[in-house]
Structure 1
Amino acid sequence: MAGIRIVDIDIYHPTNKVGNDFYIEHFDARGVDIRGLLKALGRDTRYKIDNDDENSLSMAFEAASNLLEKTGLTGADIDLIAYASQTPEYIFPTNSLMIHRLINGASHTICIDSNANCAGMTAAFEQVSRQMLGNPRIRRALIIGSDYVAPHASPDDPVYFANFGDAAAAVIVERDEQAVGFIDSIYQTDTCVYGNSLFPAQGLAKLGQTGVDAGAFHVKFIPFDDSICVGAASESIRTLLSRNEIGADEIKAACFSQLSIANIRAVSENIGIGEDIAVYIGDEFGYTSTSSPFIALHRAISSGQIQRGDKVLFWTVGAGWQNVAMVVEY
Structure 2
Amino acid sequence: MQSNPRVESTLVVGSDYLSLFSDPDDAVTYGNFGDAACAVILEKTKENTGFIDASYRTETTEIDGLVFPHTGLSNFLTNPSSTPYIKEVSKPKDTMPETFMLFDDLLFDHGMTMDDIDYIAPSQSVFKNVERIREQYSLNPSQMLYIGDRYGYTAVTSPILALYEGIQSGKVKRGDQVLFYTIGTGHVIIAMLFKY
Q: TM-score, normalised by structure 1?
A: 0.56
1:193-232, Cα deviation, whole Å (9 max, x unpaired): 2101122345544444x23207x21123214146x11111
The yes-or-no answer on 1:196 pairing with 2:62 is no
The yes-or-no answer on 1:260 pairing with 2:126 is yes
Given that 1:237 and 1:271 are in contact with CA atoms closer than 8 Å, whether structure 2 keeps it comes out as: no
Given that 2:29 and 2:87 are in contact with CA atoms closer than 8 Å, whether structure 1 keeps it comes out as: no
1:247-269, Cα deviation, whole Å (9 max, x unpaired): 21221111001111110010222
Question: What runs of 5+ residues in structure 2 fail to find an aligned partner?
Answer: none
Residue of structure 2 equivalent to 1:241: 107
Aligned length: 196
Aligned counterparts of 1:295 and 1:152: Cα–Cα separation in 2? 21
2:89 aligned partner, one-letter code: I
Residue of structure 2 equivalent to 1:219: 86
The yes-or-no answer on 1:304 pairing with 2:184 is no
The yes-or-no answer on 1:167 pairing with 2:36 is yes
Given that 1:253 and 1:305 are in contact with CA atoms closer than 8 Å, whether structure 2 keeps it comes out as: no
Given that 2:23 and 2:30 are in contact with CA atoms closer than 8 Å, whether structure 1 keeps it comes out as: yes
Aligned counterparts of 2:79 and 2:4: Cα–Cα separation in 1? 43
Residue of structure 2 equivalent to 1:182: 51
Shift of the alpha carbon at 1:274? 2.5
Task: Say what the alpha-carbon RMSD is for the aligned residues.
Answer: 1.8
Given that 1:183 and 1:329 are in contact with CA atoms closer than 8 Å, whether structure 2 keeps it comes out as: yes
Aligned counterparts of 2:128 and 2:14: Cα–Cα separation in 1? 24
Identify which of 248, 273, 288 aligns with 2:139: 273
2:171 aligned partner, one-letter code: Q
Given that 1:144 and 1:168 are in contact with CA atoms closer than 8 Å, whether structure 2 keeps it comes out as: yes
Shift of the 175–237 alpha-carbon distance from structure 1 to 2, 3 Å rule, reads same
> Per chain length, whose mean CA-contact separation is higher, i.e. which structure has more relative contact order (CA < 8 Å, sep 6+)?
2
Shift of the 140–203 alpha-carbon distance from structure 1 to 2, 3 Å rule, reads farther
The yes-or-no answer on 1:284 pairing with 2:150 is yes
Aligned counterparts of 2:192 and 2:30: Cα–Cα separation in 1? 30
Residue of structure 2 equivalent to 1:329: 195
The structure carrying a bigger helix percent of its residues is 1
Identity across the alignment (%): 36
1:151-184, Cα deviation, whole Å (9 max, x unpaired): 2112222111111122221111112244331000
Q: How does 1:121-132 map to 2 (within 5 A)?
A: 132=1
2:139 aligned partner, one-letter code: I
Aligned counterparts of 1:262 and 1:204: Cα–Cα separation in 2? 31
The yes-or-no answer on 1:142 pairing with 2:11 is yes
Secondary structure of 1:312's counterpart equals strand
Secondary structure of 1:182's counterpart equals strand
Given that 1:252 and 1:305 are in contact with CA atoms closer than 8 Å, whether structure 2 keeps it comes out as: no
Q: TM-score, normalised by structure 2?
A: 0.92
Question: What runs of 5+ residues in structure 1 fail to find an aligned partner?
Answer: 1-131
Secondary structure of 2:118's counterpart equals strand
